[in-house]
Amino acid sequence: QKEVEQNSGPLSVPEGAIASLNCTYSDRGSQSFFWYRQYSGKSPELIMFIYSNGDKEDGRFTAQLNKASQYVSLLIRDSQPSDSATYLCAVMKGTGRRALTFGSGTRLQVQP
């Protein structure tokens, strides 16, 4: 079992729809959760982070965390073609090394 799992996609949604990206993690003691967006050939860009159970909203983005289910998600409202990218989920474990563990990413395609 991978430490951080994401569906590789592609996830295809029409412009204006809500895109829902999901991530599960194996370390129950994980403390911090991050979503990065990566355009093809570019470096990852931090778009959201969440530490507590529940929802956190920032503009069109909402991160949702459920520690009991070891599940974190990212919702993108009013999806735009410019949102087409790979979305990487990253987790900071509770103990041990102080570095992020990344999932392999979900490719999102927003159809105009």
Partner 1 sequence: DGGITQSPKYLFRKEGQNVTLSCEQNLNHDAMYWYRQDPGQGLRLIYYSQIVNDFQKGDIAEGYSVSREKKESFPLTVTSAQKNPTAFYLCASSMTGSAAEQYFGPGTRLTVT
Residue ranges binding partner 1 (CB under 8 A) = 4, 8, 31-32, 34, 36, 42-46, 49, 51, 88, 90, 92, 94, 97-105
Which CB atom, from 11 or from 92, has the smaller least distance to partner 1?
Answer: 92
Which of 19, 90 has the CB closer to partner 1? 90
Q: What is the DSSP letter of 38?
A: E
Select 17 or 56, whichever has its Cβ closest to partner 1: 56
Six token digits for residue 106: 């979900």
> Alpha-carbon distance 44 to 111, whole Å?
22
User: How many angstroms separate the CA atoms of 47 and 57, rounded?
Assistant: 11
